[in-house]
Amino acid sequence: MQKFIEAGYDVVNFEDKADIYVINTCTVTSIADKKSRQMIRRVKQQNKDAIVVAVGCYVQVAREKLEEIKDIDLILGTKEKKDIVKYAQEYLKEREKIVSVSDMTPKDNYEEYGLITHTERNRAVIKIEDGCNQFCTYCIIPYARGRVRSRLPEHIIKEIEKISENGIKEVVLTGINLTAYGTDFAYRDIEQIDCNKSEEENKEKLKDYRLIDLLEDINKIPKIKRIRLGSLEPTIITDDFVERLSKLEKVCDHFHLSLQSGCTETLKRMNRKYTAEEIEEAAARIRKYFPNAALTADIIVGFPGETDEEFNQTYELLKRIKLYKIHVFKYSIREGTKAAVMENQIDGNIKEERSNKLLELSNKYEEEFNNACVGKTLSVLFEEQDGEYLKGHTTNYRVVKVKAKESKLENEIANVKIARAEGLELVGELAKSETCQWGRRFLTTCQ
Ligand code: SF4
């Protein structure tokens, strides 16, 4: 989008008639594949003369299938995406279908598309990494997105400094595999970062630079007040990592763990690199340094071969570590993966049953977590006016609302004394003079 804006194009809403439609295809699940194909057909119905460009992961793994769809004019791979405007202009001249999809290689760099960030009013989502080397047996992403490519810290810091000058106070760091951030610097061709240094010197500087180093650097940006992290794997939650993390006053105490299962045998079949025991240790480490942390996790139920006993091990582990929310996914076959051809695929009814059981647990813990907030004073970053309420989030990602109209507090951080829980939201009153009791207290105006 940024590339088109820079070239003088106007960006319109998806429902409006456009001359060029760019479909960013996804291939994480078979349903995502289907949606990508449906979207392509839909835009052609909106404007039969429009140019339809398909980019993204589905293109990278299923180029031949997309070539068969006559409605697509341009099919561009991940590497070609940065030249999207050039390709569109070429097409406009010749009006001949263009297909250009290069293979991804381990040495490829992170593709910088300029300073692009998804921003809400006062929160910005910053992508710091792409690709994955892990090859979990159920996942197509390493084939679709290529190997780990970390964005250079200088570029990330520059982007965050810029948006913080425009009023953004909270950043959310995301990536395909955030845990792997920096692991590729040692073997990639590092372009000149600091012009006074040679490529070798730059390489030396980045060789051991990891997610925690980046967080320490972002924490120093004065106008950024909160830093959130996307999914983390238990493997990154070492004593050193959590201890250093706990010293960064802007890091929010909300951690989403990519667990997938709580049973060591199932994890092995998934090709995940940790055990159930290590999950428990990781959760305990987080709680040691962040006592009020909200822990959430992704769990897949019904993975091939998951017996009742294995599922129960997951269930019991989740009960012990008491997450505040569980995102449950019923395993679905992803063509082209190892798990798709594994024996003992699980019946849909069993998946449904296991999913319901985990969702029940999740709802119970979410309610308990919310109720535990009642009577506490929490630090809230106010984001929007919703009717008579001003709404925002706590450091551990609870939605809080206070009665206030057109308050000067929008985009500000303040303390709120929680009076009651209303469904998934907390209702309270401003508590200017009180110290906050939950969440990371040094983020607020209180001391
Ligand atoms: S870590 Fe596993 S699930 Fe996550 S992107 Fe990589 S291969 Fe896929």
- Measured by CA distance, the residue closest to atom 1 of ligand 1 is 134
Alpha helix locations (H) across 30-152? Answer: 30-46, 57-61, 63-67, 84-94, 141-145
Same domain for 383 and 366:
no
Same domain for 27 and 124:
no
Domain assignment of residue 109, yes or no? no
The range of the structural domain enclosing residue 56 comes to 2-100
Domain assignment of residue 107, yes or no? no
Same domain for 257 and 221:
yes
Q: Tell me if 211 sits within 8 A of 242, measured CB to CB.
A: no
* Helix 239-246 with 276-289: angle, nearest 10 deg: 20
Q: Tell me if 210 sits within 8 A of 181, measured CB to CB.
A: yes
Same domain for 365 and 277:
yes
- Rounded CA gap, 195 and 325, in Å? 46
Same domain for 145 and 86:
no
Ligand 1 atom nearest the C-alpha of 258 is 4
Tell me the HSE value of 397 on the side-chain side, using a 13 A CA sphere.
19
- The response to whether residue 236 sits with its C-beta less than 6 Å from ligand 1 reads no
Per DSSP, the three-state class of 155 is: helix
Of 339, 371, 403, which residue sits at a domain end?
A: 371
- Measured by CA distance, the residue closest to atom 4 of ligand 1 is 177
pLDDT confidence of residue 446:
30
Same domain for 122 and 170:
yes
If residue 2 lies in a helix (H) or strand (E), which one and from where to where? Answer: helix 2-6
- The response to whether residue 132 sits with its C-beta less than 6 Å from ligand 1 reads yes
From residue 262, alpha-carbon distances to 59, 277, 297, 339 in Å are 33, 9, 11, 18
Scan for tokens 């990154």, then name that residue: 236
pLDDT confidence of residue 368:
92
In the chain, how long is the greatest CA-to-CA distance? 68
- Our measurement of the distance from residue 173's CA atom to the centroid of its chain's CA atoms, rounded to an integer in Å, reads 7
Of 70, 100, 130, which residue sits at a domain end?
A: 100
pLDDT, tens only, 74-116 = 999 888 888 899 999 888 888 889 999 887 766 676 776 554 5
The alpha carbon of 174 and the centre of ligand 1 are apart by a number of angstroms equal to: 14
Same domain for 136 and 235:
yes
* Rounded (10°) CA dihedral 88, 91, 95, 97: -100
Same domain for 420 and 321:
no
pLDDT confidence of residue 92:
86
pLDDT confidence of residue 81:
84
| CATH number of the structural domain spanning residue 20 | 3.40.50
Domain assignment of residue 113, yes or no? no
Scan for tokens 């019946």, then name that residue: 347
Q: Percent helix, strand and coil across the chain, each rounded to 5? A: 35, 25, 40
The alpha carbon of 411 and the centre of ligand 1 are apart by a number of angstroms equal to: 35
Domain assignment of residue 366, yes or no? yes
Domain assignment of residue 262, yes or no? yes
Q: Tell me if 66 sits within 8 A of 52, measured CB to CB.
A: no
Same domain for 423 and 346:
no
- Rounded CA gap, 443 and 414, in Å? 9
pLDDT confidence of residue 252:
96
Q: How many domains does the chain have?
A: 3
Domain assignment of residue 112, yes or no? no
The phi and psi torsions of 212 (rounded to 5 degrees) equal -65, -35
- Rounded CA gap, 376 and 210, in Å? 35
Q: Is 130 buried (19+), middle (13-18) or exposed (0-12) by CB count in 10 A?
A: buried
Which contacts qualify for 353-356: CB closer than 8 Å, 24 or more apart? 354/301, 354/302, 354/306, 354/311, 355/301, 355/302, 355/328, 355/330
The alpha carbon of 235 and the centre of ligand 1 are apart by a number of angstroms equal to: 13
- Rounded CA gap, 435 and 102, in Å? 56
- The response to whether residue 300 sits with its C-beta less than 6 Å from ligand 1 reads no
Same domain for 240 and 133:
yes
Domain assignment of residue 41, yes or no? yes
DSSP 96: -
- The response to whether residue 133 sits with its C-beta less than 6 Å from ligand 1 reads no
Scan for tokens 């760099």, then name that residue: 109
Same domain for 259 and 189:
yes
Ligand 1 atom nearest the C-alpha of 145 is 5
| CATH number of the structural domain spanning residue 398 | 2.40.50.140
Pairing of strands 123-130, 118-119: antiparallel
- The tokens describing 231, both together, are 């999914």
pLDDT, tens only, 121-162 = 678 999 999 999 999 999 999 988 889 999 999 999 999 999
The alpha carbon of 406 and the centre of ligand 1 are apart by a number of angstroms equal to: 44
Same domain for 413 and 319:
no
All residue ranges of the chain with pLDDT < 50 are 115, 441-447
Of 73, 100, 127, which residue sits at a domain end?
A: 100
| CATH number of the structural domain spanning residue 153 | 3.80.30.20
The phi and psi torsions of 24 (rounded to 5 degrees) equal -85, 95
Question: 22: closest CA among 31, 9, 103?
Answer: 9
As beta bridge partners, residue 226 has: 170
Report the residue among 135, 177, 184, 235 best suited for mutation to probe ligand 1: largest number of ligand atoms under 8 A from its CB: 177
Q: Tell me if 426 sits within 8 A of 401, measured CB to CB.
A: yes
Q: What pTM does this model have?
A: 0.82
- Measured by CA distance, the residue closest to atom 2 of ligand 1 is 136
Instruction: List the end-to-end C-alpha distance of the chain, in Å, as a whole number.
Output: 43
Domain assignment of residue 344, yes or no? yes
DSSP 210: -
Q: Tell me if 59 sits within 8 A of 25, measured CB to CB.
A: yes
- The response to whether residue 62 sits with its C-beta less than 6 Å from ligand 1 reads no
- The response to whether residue 234 sits with its C-beta less than 6 Å from ligand 1 reads no
